[in-house]
Amino acid sequence: MLIKSLPEDERPQEKALKNGVGALSDTELIALILRTGRHNASSIALAEDVLSICDEGLFSMGTFEAEDLLKIEGIGPGKASMLMAAVELGKRIAASRKPEKYVADDPDMIADMFMEDLRYEKKEYFKSVILNTKSEVIAVDNISVGELSSTIVHPREVFSRAVRKSAYGVVFVHNHPSGDPTPSQEDIQTTNRLVESGNILGIKVLDHVIIGDGRYESMRSLNIIR
């Protein structure tokens, strides 16, 4: 049976998009990787042929060489490479360790994170560092890129990802292309507006660090943020 003759909610791609890839069977996962079948046979039928040579279940796929897969009718070098790449990626994910989260609990650490990236930029880059309750960085959101002397920042864009991440707090970071990190009046007004917005949303604005050329200023250290 060809894939297009199946009900839409039983096709691997549609099923994965609707319910997540965890809802797919082994056969459907392999079919999704293969994408297409062979003459008069669907990718599901081809996936079943792949599983039929797995004497020890899916574990066998980890030991396959290209020649093992090329023996299956309908699998050429392209499909064999895709399957082997998927297996290799699975091995690497299994062998990898979750990276330790970067703790950003003082302005020095924040400045270290961004100094070399931002100190030479000719435009202002405004970023939001999203933190959990342990002050661990869970995401960095690139909010906007402005002209040399101004960056337009709207609370809706600033806090949207922090809300989705259930953030405890945020630290804002932006650069001054002039090299002088002294906060401008516009910086202070923008920060105060964002602090008020964060309070409404229950997300603390912990600091706003301005990056200059080899130096920085922290609005919390300057008591602009309390």
Terminal alpha carbon distance of the chain: 66
Cβ within 8 Å of residue 2, ≥6 positions away: 37, 42
Task: Name the residue ranges covered by the structural domains of the chain.
Answer: 3-95, 107-218
Domain 107-218: assigned CATH number = 3.40.140.10
Pairing outcome for strands 169-175 and 125-131: antiparallel
Mean pLDDT of the chain: 88
CATH topology of domain 3-95: DNA polymerase; domain 1 (1.10.150)
In degrees rounded to 5, what are phi and psi of residue 40? 65, 20
pLDDT at 17: 83
- Rounded CA gap, 26 and 51, in Å? 8
- Rounded CA gap, 50 and 31, in Å? 10
* 16-31 mean pLDDT: 86
Max Cα distance, the chain (Å): 72
Q: Say yes or no to pLDDT of 6 above 90.
A: no
Q: Say yes or no to pLDDT of 148 above 50.
A: no
Q: Say yes or no to pLDDT of 167 above 90.
A: yes
pTM: predicted TM-score of the whole model, two decimal places: 0.59
How does pLDDT run across 175-211, given as a tens digit for each residue? 999 999 999 999 999 999 999 999 999 999 999 999 9
| Cα radius of gyration rounded to whole Å, the chain | 26
* 103-114 mean pLDDT: 91
How does pLDDT run across 48-77, given as a tens digit for each residue? 999 999 988 888 888 888 999 999 999 999
Q: Give the H or E element holding residue 197.
A: helix 185-201
pLDDT at 94: 77
42, 31 Cβ separation under 8 angstroms: yes
* 152-159 mean pLDDT: 86
